[in-house]
Amino acid sequence: MIKAGIIGSTGYAGQELVRLLHGHKDVEIVWYGSRSYIDKKYYDVFRNMFQIVEDVCKDDHLDELAEAVDVIFTATPQGLCASLVSEEILNKVKIIDLSADFRIKDVTVYEKWYGIKHASPEFIPEAVYGLCEINREDIKGARLIANPGCYTTCSILTAYPLVKEGLIDARSIIIDAKSGTSGAGRGAKVDNLFCEVNENIKAYGVTTHRHTPEIEEQLGYAAGEPLLLNFTPHLVPMNRGILVTAYANLKEGVTEADIRAAYDKYYKDEKFVRVLEPGICPETRWVEGSNYTDINFKVDPRTHRVIMMGALDNLVKGAAGQAVQNMNLIFGLDEAEGLNLVPMFP
């Protein structure tokens, strides 16, 4: 049995990790980390866990935690994981970080976009960007995983095959993305109150959102050269879900068949990426509660652009599901163990 500890088990991403790991036959959660609910029963925080989880929430005594578990998930605000990582800890346990601390390879870029000082930049080079469909082999041998987030997973998976195959002008990409409110976390903020979010849709972080350099970096690797793009997120009044609509100029002579062949090449054997039939647009409701990313595209012959579309559940493939997928790879398990979740509706 793999013993797991979750720092930040009482946040939105952390509670989803608890739910998924409970359905995982090879994992036992032995540490429910929290900051605000120490000594409280976990089910008193999340009543869906009544008679399922009897444990109490614990403070994060890292040394004790590292002795007790094989893997630590950090589902905590930016900067926290970086402050915990050390050679000693990594020699004892694997760390799967759901925050952005180790996602960006250039620490000056991280510090500029996040506005915080990185506490352990010496571990950035060894961290593996845990986008399983793209970095599977590297993940298997990793001690430290930078688990990609919701907007970035959806954006990168949606555009990756066309960038990698050189079918689009990679410098012409525009990504318009929408997120449900759980993407903003459980902490109380005026902007996320019901009356602020309900019956409204708004763009935010325009030209400045911290996910922009992460998407640029990863798609830049696929393109074989650095690239710049526009990324505009929107907050929409639903609980879960990310929808990406991305636009790019097609290279001369590229056909619809070329594009479909590229998606097939990268995703036809991928369990968690579903390329939809022609004419069907991805919708968040058809992936909710599951680890799937649904993807499709349409060519506009008038403008000679391709419109790429993707949808996923921000708390599953965009966070906890992807973290479990990474853990499965690291520990040599079936990649889909604990993740055979049928999307729920409504």
Ligand X SMILES: CC(=O)N[C@@H](CCC(=O)OP(=O)(O)O)C(=O)O
Ligand Y SMILES: NC(=O)C1=CN([C@@H]2O[C@H](COP(=O)(O)OP(=O)(O)OC[C@H]3O[C@@H](n4cnc5c(N)ncnc54)[C@H](OP(=O)(O)O)[C@@H]3O)[C@@H](O)[C@H]2O)C=CC1
Give catalytic residues, as residue numbers. 150
Picking from 25, 8, 103, the residue whose alpha carbon sits closest to that of residue 324 is 25
Mark residues 213-252: x for contact with ligand X by CB under 6 A, - for none: --------------------x-x-----------------
Nearer to ligand X (CB atom), residue 62 or residue 315: 315
Regarding 315 and contact with ligand X (CB under 6 A), the answer is no
Nearer to ligand X (CB atom), residue 86 or residue 232: 232
Nearer to ligand Y (CB atom), residue 10 or residue 218: 10
Interacting residues toward ligand Y by CB under 6 A = 7-14, 34-37, 60, 75-78, 80, 98-99, 149-150, 182-183, 185-187, 314-315, 318-319
Give the whole-angstrom CA distance, residue 137 versus residue 286: 29
Mark residues 280-309: x for contact with ligand X by CB under 6 A, - for none: ------------------------------
Mark residues 181-220: x for contact with ligand X by CB under 6 A, - for none: --xx--------------------------x---------
Return all residues near 335 (Cβ < 8 A) that are at least 6 apart: 132, 271, 325, 328, 329
Regarding 149 and contact with ligand X (CB under 6 A), the answer is yes
> Residue-wise over 228-256: b if at least 16 C-beta within 10 A, else e?
ebebbbebbebebbbbbbbbbbbeeebee
Nearer to ligand Y (CB atom), residue 177 or residue 315: 315
Q: Nearest approach, Cβ of 100 to ligand X (angstroms)?
A: 5
Alpha helices in the chain (DSSP H): 12-22, 42-45, 62-68, 80-84, 87-92, 107-114, 132-140, 150-164, 194-197, 211-223, 256-267, 321-330
Q: Which does 213 bind (CB under 5 to 8 A by kind): ligand X, ligand Y, none?
A: none
Is the four-CA dihedral 137, 121, 233, 16 of positive or negative sign?
A: positive
List contacts with ligand X (CB under 6 A).
100, 149-151, 179, 183-184, 211, 233, 235
